[in-house]
Structure 1
Amino acid sequence: MNELASFLEYKDQGIWLQIYVDPFNKRIRIDDYYGNLQAIIEYAEKLIKEKKLEKLIFKGRKEHFQAFIQQGYILEAQIDHYFLGSNAYFFTKYFDSQRMENSHWITEDQIIHSINGMALSAETIHPPQEYHLKKVEAEDAENLAQLYQQVFQIYPTPLHDPEYIKKTLVEGTIYYCFYGNGKIVSAASAEVNQTYRNAELTDCATLTEHRKHGFMKILLKKLEQDLYKQGIYCSYSIARSLSFGMNAALHQLGYEYRGRLRNNVFIYDKLENMNVWVKNLAEQPNFRQ
């Protein structure tokens, strides 16, 4: 299913677009662009209508903020410092009225309200000795794919496939995991954008019976340390809005909430809203020690 998603480049007189076409999630995302903005928007909207998809997302720039609003786009979230220090804004437009309907919005508001009242985490977590932390290599791909098969029935990228995981490793994605009894029980990754020096912390998964040990906070901190060493300071994560645990973990690690992407991707068994969290790793004094 997910193999149908593809990255495209379109270049014509006066415009250039980097496009992620995602038929499974019925959306198109414009990751980068330059040139005449009106022509860029017209091309993207023509493409989404031709492919009969439902949601168009632009990672827009600060200087185009008002232009997108004037064109009927909705600002759903932002990522601080995404474009080499300049903010990225998620401007969206819907091409199917049902795609905008959502019955979980108020519940998710209440989750954010509860999390914002929590203190940041200063504790050092020591997992039981039978678990060990490891940076994922190609030899771990089969084991890692099995974890994702167990945790996610549906996922936006084909992490059920070991060959896909190996491909992402070659392309620069960083994974850390915890092994227990010879199998991976928890994992997370950092998807690195070398062009704009940012990274998305993603693919967070822990088997249910192992969730009491605080693995995810340890994994995310290890990923942050790797990113800092590479000079990548814009770290962000996009978490399921209904997941109290994942959103709370990000908040306690110092991430700040920056909005919610409505009906964004299919995860588990339904189309889900996703919360955007950001952190400036350059401001973390413990990384400079």
Structure 2
Amino acid sequence: MLDTIEKIEGAVLHHGETHNRIYLTESKETNWDSLISKMKHIAHDKKYDKILSRVPEQAIETFKSNGYQVEAKIPGLYNGKTSGYFLAEYLNKQRSENDEKALKTIATVKSIAQAAKSSSEEGYMNLPANFSVRKLSNNDLPMLAELHQKSFKTYSFPIQDEKYLLELAEQNHEYYGLFNEGKLIVSAILKIYENESNIEIVDFATHPNYRGQNLSYYILQEIKQNSNKRGFKTIYSFVRATSYGLNITFSKHGFIFGGTLFKNTLIGDNFESMNVWYTH
């Protein structure tokens, strides 16, 4: 059930049964028509429902002419200059359909989150007593793997495995953690795109005993401050579209809503729509 990562014509594809989709995560100047054709062949062969592609502005007309629709946009995603787009093709019509209740919840969460918007300075909060937050080192990976084991029912990569976390750390990934009296209770995985000058916050994990307290707020605060010091142009993340807490957290930190990726990610037993949030 783990995702496959493969390179085709200089592009990086993540695909697998867990999310039942292909995700084009990185792409260089290429023959877009040829790449689209090859992704579609893989999708039909594996019987995937969805193809999601993250591409620069110059590629969108080709993708649109091949039946893709824009679901989200991040201005200046590539080095602060070129906009990035998330375009989707649905090979199974049902995968693109949301019932009225789900759409209403997504709209309400978005509205409430955007109403909570503030700047980073306005949203700054001091850490509670006995809490600390920092970037994690390789020595912290055993406790990070343990936290992932407790936090996730399913995941498309073996992030509960210490050795795999070390592999990611050697492949442009970083980890942050929030501690309560020395115990790791919340973590974040970051993917660093040095050549694009952006950072993706891939996921948060929260110990089951600490859920519902919006503690990821303090990690996000630390990530923003550190990335600004390092000169990255953009930070972005996918957030479950029905999660009031995390959408509000991003908005309070000055992040901007970029769009919604419908039925994009398997969380628990359901395909969840994901909101895209970004900041410069």
Following superposition, the deviation at residue 214 of structure 1 comes to: 5.2
**2:20 counterpart (12, 22, 26):** 26
- Structure 2 distance, partners of 1:170, 1:66, is 35
**1:43 counterpart (25, 38, 55):** 38
Q: Paired residue for 1:64? A: 59
Q: Paired residue for 2:75? A: 80
Secondary structure at the aligned position of 1:43 is classed as helix
Cα RMSD over matched residues?
Answer: 2.1
Q: Does residue 220 in structure 1 map to residue 220 in structure 2?
A: yes
Following superposition, the deviation at residue 194 of structure 1 comes to: 1.5
Relative to structure 1, the CA distance from residue 61 to residue 210 in structure 2 (aligned partners, 3 Å threshold; closer, same or farther) is: same
Structure showing greater relative contact order (alpha-carbon pairs closer than 8 Å, 6 or more residues apart): 2
Following superposition, the deviation at residue 215 of structure 1 comes to: 3.2
Relative to structure 1, the CA distance from residue 138 to residue 228 in structure 2 (aligned partners, 3 Å threshold; closer, same or farther) is: same
User: How far does the alpha carbon of each residue in 1:120-143 deviate from its partner, in whole angstroms, 9 at most, with x for none?
Assistant: 161542333322223211121121
Q: Paired residue for 1:17? A: 11
Relative to structure 1, the CA distance from residue 23 to residue 258 in structure 2 (aligned partners, 3 Å threshold; closer, same or farther) is: same
Q: Does residue 94 in structure 1 map to residue 77 in structure 2?
A: no
Q: Paired residue for 1:287? A: none
Following superposition, the deviation at residue 77 of structure 1 comes to: 0.7
Question: 1:47 corresponds to which letter in structure 2?
Answer: I
In structure 2, the gaps of 5 or more residues are none
Q: Paired residue for 2:255? A: 255
Secondary structure at the aligned position of 2:196 is classed as coil
Following superposition, the deviation at residue 255 of structure 1 comes to: 0.4
Q: Paired residue for 2:185? A: 185
Relative to structure 1, the CA distance from residue 226 to residue 172 in structure 2 (aligned partners, 3 Å threshold; closer, same or farther) is: farther
Conserved 8 A contact 1:127-1:213: no
- Structure 1 distance, partners of 2:13, 2:208, is 36
Per the normalisation by structure 1, the TM-score is 0.86
Following superposition, the deviation at residue 152 of structure 1 comes to: 2.1
Question: 1:154 corresponds to which letter in structure 2?
Answer: T
- Structure 1 distance, partners of 2:243, 2:49, is 25
User: How far does the alpha carbon of each residue in 1:211-244 deviate from its partner, in whole angstroms, 9 at most, with x for none?
Assistant: 5765322211211222223321211011111110
**1:109 counterpart (107, 110, 114):** 107
Conserved 8 A contact 1:137-1:169: no
Secondary structure at the aligned position of 2:195 is classed as coil
- Structure 1 distance, partners of 2:71, 2:123, is 33
Relative to structure 1, the CA distance from residue 8 to residue 248 in structure 2 (aligned partners, 3 Å threshold; closer, same or farther) is: same
Relative to structure 1, the CA distance from residue 177 to residue 259 in structure 2 (aligned partners, 3 Å threshold; closer, same or farther) is: same
Q: Does residue 127 in structure 1 map to residue 127 in structure 2?
A: yes
**Superposition pairs for residues 204-219 of structure 1, below 5 Å?**
204-210=204-210, 215-219=215-219
Conserved 8 A contact 1:54-1:99: yes
- Structure 2 distance, partners of 1:252, 1:215, is 13
Q: Paired residue for 1:159? A: 159
Relative to structure 1, the CA distance from residue 123 to residue 76 in structure 2 (aligned partners, 3 Å threshold; closer, same or farther) is: closer
Following superposition, the deviation at residue 209 of structure 1 comes to: 4.0
**Superposition pairs for residues 227-246 of structure 1, below 5 Å?**
227-246=227-246
Question: 2:16 corresponds to which letter in structure 1?
Answer: D
- Structure 1 distance, partners of 2:185, 2:77, is 31
How many residue pairs get aligned? The number is 274
- Structure 2 distance, partners of 1:130, 1:231, is 30
User: How far does the alpha carbon of each residue in 1:46-80 deviate from its partner, in whole angstroms, 9 at most, with x for none?
Assistant: 22112221111122221232332222111111222
Q: Paired residue for 2:176? A: 176
Q: Paired residue for 1:197? A: 197
- Structure 1 distance, partners of 2:28, 2:117, is 39
Following superposition, the deviation at residue 111 of structure 1 comes to: 0.9
Question: 2:260 corresponds to which letter in structure 1?
Answer: R
Relative to structure 1, the CA distance from residue 92 to residue 118 in structure 2 (aligned partners, 3 Å threshold; closer, same or farther) is: same
- Structure 1 distance, partners of 2:138, 2:16, is 26
In structure 1, the gaps of 5 or more residues are 281-289
